[in-house]
Structure 1
Amino acid sequence: MRIHFAAAVVVLTMISISAFARGAEGDSLPAKTSVPSTQVGWYDRIQLRGYAQMRYNGLFETNPDLGCSQCDKSWGTGGFFLRRIRMIFSGQIHERIYMYIQPDFASGGQNFVQIRDAYFDLGLDAKQEFRLRIGQSKVPFGFENLQSSQNRLPLDRNDGLNSAVLNERDIGLFFYYAPTEVRERFKYLVSSGLKGSGDYGMFGFGAYNGQTANLPERNRNFHVVSRFSYPMKLASGQFIEASFQGYAGKFVISRNPLTDFDQVEFPEFRFGPTFVIYPQPLGLQAEFNWGRGPQYNPETNDVEDAPLKGGYVLASYMQKTSKGAIIPFTRYHYYSGGKKFEVDATRHRVSELELGVEWQFHKALELVTMYTISDRSAQNSLDPLNRERGSLLRIQAQVNF
């Protein structure tokens, strides 16, 4: 099965490169055509942009032991925290090749540099409605997972879907298709400030390592993922979007080295829908997913194959101002399942309500305040009884450049 799949990937890649080569040849100048003395190099087409986020989570904190290592490691520290410093290098370096490289200079809260994205889009036709993405990028699973942290309203992604892929990314080969009209809608939903997820195709399909980004592969099995998403513009001008996604693969978990030294592999899968009404001015966003995967069992002190489920509902209201916008929002999210990338596939139970406001003073500066009421348990062999409840006010300043 794996041999057939690998062969199919190789054939698809060869066909894609062949199509690109034919297209590039067809787009080239005839041999006798004079070349202008001043030509634009690929390096002249590279654009640089980015954003930086600083947070403080210590206001009105009722439980300093309440935390979320996956979303924000500064919970409970009581100090200022650089959440992200992203620099994005991107550009159409060839008629058929788009480049995107994004390092983070505040990764893990320890201010070291780490590559988040490093990929190239290969246009398979002149309109680039068919694309092949090669490299490390976001895995097309979930709207909020694909939405940039620069645009997302809540300060962190929901546990229910974000537990699918650590940091939302992995290395792989992804095929995307969307007609030009739909690609323009995806672009507008971001550039207009409506908090879109970006262009990951109307249809996407891919194969990726599965152990998540910036971590070595630990088995010889690819994960496979597929997603369909359609943004629709109603006669009133209102945008809505519906999606469905799923993935499957085998994941190698990390055990507590004091109790188990064996490498253990678990099959896993997830699937679920997304529905979005964009804030014009009232917005509604909801996602849910179901599946199975590894999960710690505190009764047996072992990791077992177990069901999982989780999702969220987010409501918002966008009030435009002369230079920006004011967007009050609320989100409730829930998760019951394991987090495969944590030790012993830590068993999580999350129930969390957030109330917040985003102030966009202008394009270069945003401020978010968000009050969080949380009930979280995270159980593994190191702490089989962990459960924390509490609330806190969180503040984030974001500079866009």
Structure 2
Amino acid sequence: MTERTGAPEQKGADEIAGAFDDFMRAFESFKETNDARLAEIEEKLAADVVTEEKLARIDRTLDELSLKARRPPLAPGERGAAAASERKTAFEGYVRSGAEDGLRRIEAKALSVGSAPDGGYLVPVEIEREIGKRLAALSPIRAIADVRQVSGSTYRKPFMTAGPAVGWVGETAARAQTGSPTLAALDFPTMELYAMPAATPGLLDDAAVDIEAWIAGEVEAAFALQEGAAFVAGDGENKPRGFLDYDTVADAAWSWDKLGYLATGVTGGFAAANPSDRLIDLVYALKAGYRQNAHFVMNRKTQGAIRKFKDEDGAYLWAPPSTPGAAATLVNFPVAEAEDMPDIAAGSFSVAFGDFRRGYLVVDRTGVRVLRDPYSAKPYVLFYTTKRVGGGVQDFEAIKLMKFAAA
């Protein structure tokens, strides 16, 4: 007897295989017994009672096995684990050798749309989850923004432009009828992002190579690089819209659908005297409710310039990370280092400050696809990997900018 151990996914697959083997053995026994019964009828014009009873027992066993195969899973995740294991095995076969039959059958059963070979196949959920984790670690804006997963091509978020009238009233005083709220919506379409890692036939033939980790590792840098640029300054054309692409206005005249800014007072730099004062002003331009989870966002050159600033007591405003994996802080707020933020220049918006989890939304459409291409770059095998991502500002009060200008 084969010992069935290992991960839940493998265990589920082993149990299904074992049940199928049991069914096939019972069916073979059924055929042999029934053939014997028919031979007895031909020879004696009647079947032996023992043979009839044996056939009846086998018939009941087949019925029980059939019912067991059709029953809903009794243990939580039993069927899901088996399906995940089946997809994982089929996907590995596709990546290593180009065998498509397993994935075609799985996606046909799932009624997947657009899963033809020319569009690639969905990766197992474990790979998709691993890619998401790696992107969160590498993409600075994704790491601090609000991230939502959607199944459609566009995420629509309603918001209230004018709420119902409210007010204080005495216990027995008449209540005036309140007005109805006025709603509008922000749309966040998802755009296609792709990477194309290459592998040698030798790497794919090596059974010791973890295919899931290899694909996730190969696409992480490419995806993170493109996302980082789009989330900061993307124009919304076939890519997410970055927060620096929105209209800006002096914070004193701020209005919804624009980002407010404070000027440094000097074109292309900070004031010579007390340059850190404008950073403090930027912090307190943000309402208290947004400051609790706020981050500074800037690139390393801007951070290098600000790192020299001291307060009136001679203490540096910038502080290194207090623990491994933590972020540096500026006036006690964490700093997210985003290389796609512009360098300090005349009129540049080189520093942002805000609660990006409330202010900026990243939308991921579920499903990462891989198309295997062994022809375009022989002898290498290319893996055209795509995911759909969108993004944009969802709360214009939550982010403030520093403009390096006189006004």
TM-score normalised according to structure 1 size: 0.25
The structure having more radius of gyration, on CA atoms, is 2
TM-score normalised according to structure 2 size: 0.24
Ranked by relative contact order (alpha carbons within 8 Å, sequence separation 6 or more), the top structure is 2
